[in-house]
Amino acid sequence: MALIGAAVERVDGRLKVTGVAPYSGDVALPRLTHAVLVLSTIANGRITRIDSAGAERMPGVLWVMSHLNAPRLPDGGRAGVHPPAGRVLGLFQDDAVHYDRQPVALVVAETLDQAEAAAAAVRVGYSPATAQLDFTAAKPDAYSPGKINDAPADSARGRFAGEQTAAVTIAARVAETYGTPIEHHNPMEPHATVAQWQGDELTLYDATQFISGCRNTVAKTLGIPPEKVRVVCPYVGGGFGCKGSAWSHVPLAALAARQVGRPVKLVLTRDQMFGFVGCRPLTEQEVVVTADASGQFDSMQHHSFSHTSVIEDFTEGAAVQTRILYSCPSVETQHRLVKLNVETPTFQRAPGHCTGTFALESALDELAYRLRLEPIAMRLRNEPPADPQSKLPWSSRSLRACYVSGAKAFGWSARNPEPRSMRCAGQLVGWGYATATYPANRSAASAVARLNPDGFVVIQCGTQDLGTGTYTIMAQVAAQTLGFPLDRVRAELGDSRFPDAPVSGGSQSAASVTPAVQAAAAALREKLVNLAISDESSPVYRALAGEVVLEAGRVGLRSQSRREPIAAALARSGGKEVVAMATADPGDAKKHHSLHSFGAVFAEVSIDPDLGLVRVPRVVGRYSVGRLLNETTGRSQLLGGVVWGIGMALMEESILDGRSGRIVNANLAEYHVPTNADIGRIDVDVVPEFDPFIDPLGARGIGEIGITGVAAAVANAVYHATGIRVRRLPITLDKLLS
């Protein structure tokens, strides 16, 4: 029964590969109508005219909504829920335009073709105003956001905080600026919502990473009780952060459905995915690092500037990991925001840490070269015994083991450290290293466990499965805790009527949901054992609970071989289902321990010396992430993170037109992401570890750490191969040939 941690196949795998799994855009309801958004074509100004008369006369058109006729909403449509549960949305409450591709109208028609044709026929007039689209020009007006989530935006210790530190002789100093571009999420499944009213109750079939957050945001936006809103999302075709918020299209679909009195389906096009549903913000990061001749760090400064919109703050916490990753007596970090007339950025896989580790780990590679030190040995010299910022002990930190295991698997000892010193088949070869890290997060969650009269167990939790394997680990944990076969346990999620769970973001779903599942299953097991003990026909009648064994769905005494199905006792008691519910919360773990995951990433690049074309034939990653709950799905998440890291390093960039504010490569033909042909061998593994403080299962989330450090490892390998240091991503051939 050692199911937890086993390489169990996805319990939902067959449904997905056979096309049976229903995604939000697949929902078909009686009398379903279709909606299409009309988006702005200016980046700043006001709407002066909306001519929808022609569109309204077109076949099948039921309604055209704009600020001229949209229902007035409480507080101007501002949900006021803390992000990522709620945003400042564009809900047609006024005539202001703040960014290109802002929703300005919505057309509802009988068919999708009719809605698309009518949307194209809506004519919108504007009074444009000057838009701020130049990051460099706006940077002098940058300001502090005050906080990043619950942490201060700025930090200082050592001499930066006026404290006395030991005097050392500085042997090397790196002071450089590193940049990352705007990036867009591009999950395979675009945003999609189907809204249906039944009386005063609203059901939303929405592609979301946050079932209960979507419910609460839409309820507050529309001014109705949350219990009147149900959100359903059994499957998500990828999200990576963009589906953590209920963006404008969700309440707009609800408003349209209420107006036409029929269900409304609204699915964004790929082009619209580059419009108003978030992105990774552009960053400029100024990093200064000093050290003595032995590589002992003396000081670090990490100042990050990132863009946000003119309507809302979003901060990319790119300097946060610099506070804790290495032992250094004096550290200062700052975050500043630069307002532009663009969509509001949002969380994108490993927000902050992904962009921040590129800058920090690139700077440390530069420092190692200036000191002529082996880069891993330099980092090992600065390994902190406890969190340098909070002074708390680590809940667990096996980074040193990651260094050792990864270096051995990669063959790091054979590296010639001199740039341009390694070649193979006429190609320049480079080896690079970077450290990965991401916080270990956990929130309160609840679950319910039921034993049905048919002998099947159902586990329910209002969480989401983004493709990461939540269905499977829920079933694994419940089956092992209860003592039932896996094939007699069914996990159900994706419905706001189930017990609440947090957003599937911040790598916290596994660490939050599985303890609740474990607790609910344990409570159900206790009820079943007590049921059997009180049953005169049971083989455990009047036994002590500690003497009872529940295995493979059968109950008996430890000292005897006789077993009977627990369902038999259930049938004799009247055949009613047995139900148990439980809540698990993180308690005060963060008050006593510093909770983080870590990793060591090694990358090899092969570069054509004449064309500058970069290939990544192999990556080795070793991770300190606590206990893996499923070896197969866990490895899959780490692999996916590495693939995205390669894309971040070499390809991904959303190009903003400085005149119009439009993303000019808003399609998958010109916004490049890695394909199979771009990926070589990826070797990922976790070091043996159990984190006793994060949760009872000892598991930390792994959805995001896989991407952190990869871009820096590739960039450092590119320098090793070419002697050219690329400090602004992506690393394209023009930067290597200039």
Asked if 101 contacts 662 with a C-beta cutoff of 8 angstroms, the reply is yes
pLDDT confidence tier of residue 80, bands split at 50, 70 and 90: low
39-48, 76-85, 279-288, 301-310: least confident range: 76-85
What value does the mean pLDDT take over residues 479-487? Answer: 96
- Interval 640-655: pLDDT, tens: 999 999 999 999 999 9
Residues 6+ apart with CB under 8 A from 140: none
Instruction: Provide the 3-class DSSP secondary structure of residue 255.
Output: helix
CB 281 within 8 A of CB 345: yes
- Taking only the tens place, the pLDDT of each residue in 502-512 is 999 999 999 99
CATH 3.30.365.10: does it fit domain 283-441+590-737? yes
8 A C-beta contact, residue 10 and residue 180: no
**pLDDT tens string 424-459:** 999 999 999 999 999 999 999 999 999 999 899 999
526 flagged as catalytic: no
Share of residues in the chain with pLDDT > 90 (%): 96
Type of residue at 350: A
| Mean of the per-residue pLDDT values of the chain | 96
pLDDT in tens, 551-610: 999 999 999 888 999 999 999 999 999 999 999 999 999 999 999 999 999 999 999 999
This prediction has a pTM of: 0.97
Percent of the chain with pLDDT over 70: 99
DSSP 141-189: G-B--SEETTEES-EEEGGGGT---------EEEEEEEEE--B----SS
pLDDT of residue 487 exceeding 60: yes
Fold that domain 31-130+185-274 belongs to in CATH: Aldehyde Oxidoreductase; domain 4 (3.30.365)
pLDDT at 264 over 60: yes
pLDDT at res. 75: 81
Looking at residue 576, its amino acid is: K
How many Cβ atoms from other residues are within 10 Å of residue 714's Cβ? 29
Q: Are 210 and 244 in contact (CB under 8 A)?
A: yes
The 3-state DSSP class for residue 300 equals strand
Give per-residue pLDDT as tens, 693-728: 999 999 999 999 999 999 999 999 999 999 999 999
Q: Phi and psi for 600 in degrees, rounded to 5?
A: -125, 125
Per-residue pLDDT at 282 exceeds 80: yes
| 308 close to 339: Cβ distance less than 8 angstroms | yes
Neighbours of 591 (CB within 10 A): 8
Q: Residue 83's pLDDT band (boundaries 50, 70, 90)?
A: low
In 3D space, the residue among 707, 511, 709, 706 whose CA is nearest the CA of residue 627 turns out to be 511
DSSP three-state, residue 388: coil
With 60 as the cut, is the pLDDT of residue 1 above it? no
Q: Is the pLDDT of residue 81 over 70?
A: no
Domain 13-17+443-585 listed as CATH 3.40.50.450: no
Residue extent(s) of CATH 3.30.365.10 domains in the chain: 13-17+443-585, 31-130+185-274, 283-441+590-737
Pick from 157, 7, 84: nearest CA to 476: 7
Bridge-based pairing state of the strands 229-232 and 201-206: parallel
Are 330 and 359 a contacting pair, CB within 8 Å? no
In tens, the pLDDT along 341-367 reads 999 999 999 999 999 999 999 999 999
Asked if omega into 730 is within 30° of 0 (cis), the reply is: yes
Residue 85 has pLDDT above 90, yes or no: no
Helix (H) or strand (E) holding 299: strand 297-309
Is there a contact between 38 and 124 (Cβ–Cβ < 8 Å)?
Answer: yes
DSSP class of residue 200 equals T
Q: Exposed/middle/buried for 19, CB within 10 Å: 0-12, 13-18, 19+?
A: exposed
Helix, coil or strand: residue 121 = helix
Q: Residue 537's pLDDT is what?
A: 95
Residues counted in the chain: 738
Spatial distance between the Cα atoms of 138 and 146, rounded to a whole number of angstroms: 19
pLDDT of residue 165: 87
DSSP 23: P
- DSSP assigned state of 707: T
CB 687 within 8 A of CB 407: no
- Whole-number pLDDT of residue 87: 76
The CA R_g of the chain, rounded to the nearest whole Å, is: 27
Tell me the average pLDDT across 108-121. 98
676-681 long-range contacts (CB < 8 A, ≥24 apart) are: 678/615, 678/616, 678/646, 678/647, 678/650, 678/651, 679/616, 679/643, 679/646, 680/615, 680/616, 680/617, 680/618, 680/619, 681/617, 681/618, 681/619
User: Cα–Cα distances in Å, from 467 out to 106, 188, 419, 593, 725?
Assistant: 31, 11, 41, 30, 36
Q: What does the pLDDT average to over 408-412? A: 98
Average pLDDT for 292-303: 98
Query: What's residue 73's pLDDT?
Result: 94
Please determine, for residue 683, whether its predicted confidence score (pLDDT) is greater than 60.
yes
Q: How confident is the model at residue 86 (pLDDT cuts 50, 70, 90)?
A: low
- Answer whether residue 82 shows pLDDT above 90: no
